[in-house]
């Protein structure tokens, strides 16, 4: 059965129009085309995480509209091409990150041996090969979150939405996080960064959108 891939036809892979979520947030309008990175800021508290859930189709917006890969968030068509990374811990603290990351990468249908080699190389370049074998709950909070960046680095998604990627990251590691997101954009991914304080990412963004504004 042939399934149309809407992201191959859409000019923008992320399109939000007068989007509102929750009681106090928004409205915000923005679009992100392939090979572009947009920073969404100007909110407070958990509003960024709430917006990420709206983009992923976990929650419904309270106003306006949003499309991911040309479809309503959460629709079957968006699944193959979109990746959403939460600010909250997404790895099981009782298990090593390595097995969890390997399982997620393998679930995308790629040969497990090839995925294992790529993950090993990525962790070695990041200096995290030993940390990846330790139960995630025993590591400083920023390390498991950093390791989830192996997913966009190795999966090459069409859309990447990430919430607060610099939160808690040591200064010496911030260029690594920025570099991964920039590499995703260079590879043709439409990148949306949700951040109260985007810091160094603001200088790399193609556009910055503040809640209550249109961009």
For residue 122, tell me if it sits in a domain. Answer: yes
CB atoms within 10 A of CB 205: 21
Q: Are residues 18 and 78 in the same domain?
A: yes
For residue 153, tell me if it sits in a domain. Answer: no
**Cβ–Cβ < 8 Å for 207, 174:** no
Identify the helix (H) or strand (E) that includes residue 47.
helix 47-56
Q: How many domains does the chain have?
A: 2
d(CA 78, CA 82): 6
Q: Are residues 96 and 137 in the same domain?
A: yes
Q: For every one of its 215 residues, what pLDDT tens digit does the chain have, with 9 covering 90 and above?
A: 223 344 444 479 999 999 998 776 668 899 999 999 999 998 877 888 999 999 999 999 999 999 998 888 876 555 568 999 998 878 999 999 999 999 989 887 778 888 999 999 999 999 999 999 999 999 998 999 999 999 999 998 999 999 999 999 999 999 999 999 999 999 999 999 999 989 999 999 999 998 855 44
**Cβ–Cβ < 8 Å for 200, 16:** no
Query: Is this structure's pTM higher than 0.85?
Result: yes
Domain of 85 in residue numbering reads as 11-90+158-215
Q: Which two tokens stand for residue 108?
A: 């995308």
For residue 4, tell me if it sits in a domain. Answer: no
Give the bridge partners for 9, in sequence order.
none
Q: Which two tokens stand for residue 193?
A: 């960064």
């Amino acid at each position: 059965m042939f399934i149309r891939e809407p992201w191959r036809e859409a000019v923008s892979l992320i399109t939000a129009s007068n989007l509102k979520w929750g009681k106090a947030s928004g409205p915000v309008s923005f679009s992100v085309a392939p090979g572009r990175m947009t920073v969404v800021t100007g909110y407070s508290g958990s509003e960024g995480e709430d917006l990420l859930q709206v983009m992923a189709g976990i929650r419904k917006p309270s106003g306006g509209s949003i499309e991911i890969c040309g479809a309503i968030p959460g629709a079957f068509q968006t699944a193959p091409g979109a990746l959403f990374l939460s600010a909250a811990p997404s790895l099981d603290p009782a298990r090593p990150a390595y097995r969890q990351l390997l399982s997620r990468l393998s679930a995308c249908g790629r040969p497990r041996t090839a995925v294992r080699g790529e993950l090993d190389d990525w962790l070695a370049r990041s200096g995290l090969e030993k940390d990846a074998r330790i139960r995630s709950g025993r590591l400083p909070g920023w390390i498991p979150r950093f390791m989830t960046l192996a997913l966009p680095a190795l999966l090459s998604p069409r859309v990447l939405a990430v919430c607060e990627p610099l939160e808690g990251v040591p200064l010496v590691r911030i260029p690594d996080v920025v570099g991964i997101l920039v590499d995703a954009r260079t590879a043709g991914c439409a990148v949306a960064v949700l951040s109260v304080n985007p810091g160094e990412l603001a200088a790399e963004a193609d556009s910055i959108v503040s809640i209550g504004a249109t961009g």
